[in-house]
Amino acid sequence: MVSSVLSRETGAEAASRRESYIEAYRWMLLARTLDDKFASLYRAGKLQGGVFLGRGQEALSVAAGLALRKGDVFAPLIRDLAGRLAFGEPVVDAVRTYYGSALGPMRGRDGNVHRGRPREGLLPMISHLGAMISVVNGVLFARRMKGVAGTVGVASIGDGATSTGSFHEAINQAAVEKLPLVLVIANNQYAYSTFTDRQFACQALVDKAPGYGVTGWTVNGTDLADCLDVLTSAVARARGGGGPQLVEAHLLRLCGHGEHDDAGYVDPRLKSSEMGRDCLKVAEEFLLKQDWAGRDQLQHWRGESIEKVDQTVAQVQREAGPDPYREDWCALASKHLSEPHPS
Amino acid sequence: MSATYLEAIREAQARALAEDPRVFIYGQDVGAFGGAFKATKNLAKEFPGRVIDAPISEDAIVGLAVGAAIDGLRPIVEMQFADFSIVGFNQIVNQAATLFWRTHVPCPITFRLPCGGTSGSGPFHSQSLETVYAHYPGLVVMTPATVEDAYGMLLAAVTLEDPVIFCEHKLLYYHLKADKLPTEALPVGKARIARVGRDLTIVTYSAMLHEALVVAEELAGEGTEVEVVDLRTVKPLDTDTVMASVARTGRLLAVGESWPWGGVTAEIVARVTSEGFNLLDAPPQRLNAKDTPVPFHPNLWKAHRPTAGTIAAAARNLVRM
């Protein structure tokens, strides 16, 4: 697919493609570096709660994040660190939320991957992930009602969430309302430990698209160029009035469900298949092969990522956790309607 | 202009739509059809593009409302029956009700739940769910019992920054009338003394208020003066008004139409017992529907929920204690 594009494009287009690829790779690298840091902090007992990595899904994730622009809406899944960073989430938000820092966007009230800034278009997931799709619909619906044109929303889910009622209701709702929703399914073969043959019986998840009256796309999630190409096209089509787009990416989760999970159930044949390739390594090889970057350059970028991550972690480690005595313990915005707490 | 409880709900929505361009209504059959109960009659015509039919997808209906609220709109969601809101329960309690706590971004949505039994409606069109929603933090739960409150509290719900479960009782829709709609309303969260008495306090809300008022009239003929407290909003619960009434009467009977295990009446009894034990001259009592699904046949249905007859019996018993 890449070579066919190459044969048609002009010099300027080729330069722009190179630039996009490099930008995407660098976000992937930063995400991987930060994920690796979270994993080691978890193993060292420094982080409370779960740690969920995006290992093997960075190419798809970053492509979704980069296809969006300011003013768009993004509801990431738990493996979307690369996409979050590309969409504009600061590294410090991620680290503060893992540490439960009072200075983070969730102020210790929610943690790890459950973070976002709703007013800036980054929606903080609830654990019932399929439920986020219709929330994206709602923002898009509101934009249209307010006469704001050109917004696109990406909702990111895994193969597991396609089995939920929320998925069905929301994709159907988006289709009925012709909303500019791009629903990205990272089919990473396992929902926690459950393989796809116990999750669905259709040939491919993308086959559901025509049933809902939406456009379907398939992408190789291990190939950054393919991810950039397909996600950019799907987002452009939604932005251009083409209605909801459903993208199914084929890839393999290269980690446990969370860092508590050794993923011993993953079929070794899948790991050694093309699907089991590490998208970050594939991208690095591509950069070298295209002569878009040399080994020294890659090493330099790695160093930059490590420095950024280490600096941020060091900063957040010095920050105080939330103080239960200063917490207002009020779940309502209307403070005067708060129930009294018996002492 | 006289108005029924249902017309008050319709008029409140018309006024909210007229006064605030951020308001829209989303739900099943609410558009040109005007809603299963006609609570949105003609509103789609009067406010084009702002009263919108939804697919039968309560989960996605609520999810969409949350997204719209995040983006600054003020959705009114009509659940066709309170019973169906359970399909959207996850989105209400886990998404809408947690948003402000988690992110500091308010989630102003009004969920209209036609609730309560009507004869012949059976197990899935008769439920009273205020207790279930009141259990979750992050929600305000309103249970208007009068035409005036149906109007004033719905308008207040739309202006609140929080998700509101607005329980409108179907039995009151057509039968309850007021001479005119109110221009002022009591503050949200404030209970009302619906009838003054000195011998016994009945604390109730929604349609049960009217049963309690019948009982108060009946017992007055027997020389027992019943004070009736209309909670109006079950969450927050106006404990002060309840305690003040019990301080006057020394006897408490809490009445609700929802199921007996836990819930609003249990909460009232718990609060009065723990905070005002010394005010009580007799053990506090509670009366609820029976612990079965709501039955279909009128004979069974009438015996399932509290009525003036069963409330009066409980009240007489309590006075003798």
Q: Does A12 touch chain B (CB under 8 A)?
A: no
Assess whether B25 and B169 both reside in one domain.
yes
B236 vs A73, A136, A338: nearest CB: A338
| Whole-number CA gyration radius for chain B | 19
How high is the pLDDT of residue B1? 73
In a domain? residue B183: no
B138 vs A128, A332, A336: nearest CB: A332
Please state whether the peptide bond connecting residue A342 to the residue before it is cis, i.e. omega within 30 degrees of 0: no
Q: A139, A146, A167, A327: which to substitute to probe chain B, counting the most B Cβ within 10 Å?
A: A139
Long-range contacts from B47-52, C-beta under 8 angstroms, 24+ separation: B47/B14, B47/B17, B47/B18, B49/A145, B50/A145, B50/B17, B50/B23, B50/B24, B50/B25, B51/B17, B51/B24, B51/B25, B52/B24, B52/B25, B52/B26
Q: How many CB pairs under 8 A join A and B?
A: 149
Assess whether B128 and B15 both reside in one domain.
yes
Reply yes or no on whether the pLDDT at A2 is more than 90.
no
Contacts of A331 in chain B (CB under 8 A): 97-98, 100-101, 137-138
How high is the pLDDT of residue A98? 97
What CA–CA distance (Å, rounded) separates B227 from A343? Answer: 30
In a domain? residue B185: no
Assess whether B174 and B201 both reside in one domain.
no
Nearest to A258 by CA among A44, A99, A52: A52
Does residue B63 contact residue A170 with C-beta atoms inside 8 Å? yes
The CATH number that applies at residue B301 is: 3.40.50.920
Q: Does A119 touch chain B (CB under 8 A)?
A: yes
Name the CATH architecture for the domain at A17-319: 3-Layer(aba) Sandwich (3.40)
Is B125 catalytic? The answer is yes
Assess whether B238 and B162 both reside in one domain.
no
Q: Does A71 touch chain B (CB under 8 A)?
A: no
Residues 6+ apart with CB under 8 A from A287: A21, A22, A25, A293, A298
Q: In the structure encoding, which two tokens stand for residue B5, read together? A: 């409880």
Reply yes or no on whether the pLDDT at A6 is more than 70.
no
How far is B316 from chain A, CA to nearest CA, in Å? 32
Q: What is the pLDDT along chain B (321 residues), one digit of tens a residue?
A: 799 999 999 999 999 999 999 999 999 999 999 999 999 999 999 999 999 999 999 999 999 999 999 999 999 999 999 999 999 999 999 999 999 999 999 999 999 999 998 889 999 999 999 999 999 999 999 999 999 999 999 999 999 999 999 999 999 999 999 999 998 888 999 999 999 999 999 999 999 999 999 999 999 999 999 999 999 999 999 999 999 999 999 999 999 999 999 999 999 999 999 999 999 999 999 999 999 999 999 999 999 999 999 999 999 999 999
Does residue B229 contact residue B245 with C-beta atoms inside 8 Å? yes
What CA–CA distance (Å, rounded) separates B55 from B47? Answer: 20
Where does a domain end: B149, B178, B207?
A: B178
DSSP string, A89-103: --HHHHHHHHHT-TT
Assess whether B117 and B211 both reside in one domain.
no
Nearest to B59 by CA among B86, B35, B39, B41: B86
Helix H or strand E segment including B315:
helix B308-320
- Residue located via tokens 């966007």: A105
Nearest to B78 by CA among B127, B150, B29: B29
What CA–CA distance (Å, rounded) separates A285 from A264? Answer: 28
Does residue B59 contact residue A134 with C-beta atoms inside 8 Å? yes
Helix H or strand E segment including B269:
helix B264-276
Assess whether B36 and B109 both reside in one domain.
yes
> Which whole number is the average pLDDT over A3-27?
85
How high is the pLDDT of residue A10? 87
How high is the pLDDT of residue B119? 86
- Residue located via tokens 């278009």: A121
Assess whether B165 and B196 both reside in one domain.
no
pLDDT tens digits for range B242-252: 999 999 999 99
What CA–CA distance (Å, rounded) separates B65 from B74? Answer: 8
Strand B140-142 to B233-235 pairing: antiparallel
Reply yes or no on whether the pLDDT at A55 is more than 90.
yes
First to last CA, chain A: 66
ipTM: 0.96
The CATH number that applies at residue B27 is: 3.40.50.970
**Banded pLDDT at A342 (limits 50, 70, 90):** low
What CA–CA distance (Å, rounded) separates A292 from A298? Answer: 10
Q: Does B55 touch chain A (CB under 8 A)?
A: yes
Q: Does B236 touch chain A (CB under 8 A)?
A: yes
Q: Is B103's CB within 8 Å of A114's CB?
A: no
Helix H or strand E segment including A30:
helix A11-43
Does residue B36 contact residue B112 with C-beta atoms inside 8 Å? no
Where does a domain end: B178, B209, B241?
A: B178
What SS3 state is found at B251?
A: coil
Contacts of A170 in chain B (CB under 8 A): 57, 59-60, 63
The share of chain B scoring above pLDDT 70, in percent, equals 100
Where does a domain end: B178, B203, B219?
A: B178
Assess whether B10 and B141 both reside in one domain.
yes
Reply yes or no on whether the pLDDT at A343 is more than 80.
no
Nearest to B71 by CA among A45, A269, A299, A145: A145
pLDDT tens digits for range A222-274: 999 999 999 999 999 999 999 999 999 999 999 999 999 999 999 999 999 99
Nearest to B202 by CA among B321, B319, B294, B291: B319
What CA–CA distance (Å, rounded) separates B249 from B230? Answer: 16
Cα–Cα distance list, B2 to A15, A195, B40, B146 (Å): 73, 63, 18, 13
Strand B192-195 to B226-230 pairing: antiparallel
Q: Does A166 touch chain B (CB under 8 A)?
A: yes
Assess whether B39 and B167 both reside in one domain.
yes
How high is the pLDDT of residue A4? 52
Assess whether B249 and B273 both reside in one domain.
yes
- Counting the structural domains of chain B, the total is 2
Residues 6+ apart with CB under 8 A from B179: B2
Assess whether B218 and B311 both reside in one domain.
yes
How high is the pLDDT of residue A1? 44
Dihedrals φ, ψ of B141, to 5°? Answer: -120, 110
For residue B274, count other CB atoms closer than 10 A to its CB.
9
- Residue range of the domain that includes B300: 192-320
Assess whether B136 and B272 both reside in one domain.
no
Reply yes or no on whether the pLDDT at A7 is more than 80.
no
